[in-house]
Amino acid sequence: MALRTLHLMAFGILVGGHFWGVPAEPLYPALWATVASGAALMGLEIYQNAQWLFLVKGLAVLAKLALLLLVPFFWEARVPILFAVVALSSVGAHMPARFRHYSVLHRRVLLAEPAPLAEPVERA
């Protein structure tokens, strides 16, 4: 949760800075915090289950990365591109599970088994 919160805060600063015309240099710490936290979040997802890359939620993240890679080449369009990333993030995070967990590789929904809240206690 803390990592996701850091990621959202840093990206919020980055988007807001570009929207309000803040020069690029003061936004570098937010950029690097966004990149580092995003990479860590992706790493955690892939470590838990590499099939994440083939789920719609993983593909949404890859689509966001593709959009972000366009920014240096289309600098004047960076604000609309960043807004598209925000929109894609919002839709990807809040779509129903039947879409988020759909695997394009397996052509079906893959839901993880829920982890138990605690080990069962044997009663005497």
Domain boundaries, given as residue ranges, for the chain:
1-48, 49-111
pLDDT tens profile 43-66:
999 999 999 999 999 999 999 999
Answer whether 38's CB lies under 8 Å from 45's CB.
Answer: no
Out of 7-11, 93-97, 107-111, give the one with best mean pLDDT: 7-11
The three-state secondary structure class of 37 is helix
pLDDT tens profile 8-28:
999 999 999 999 999 999 999
Six-digit token string for 95:
């779509």
pTM: 0.82
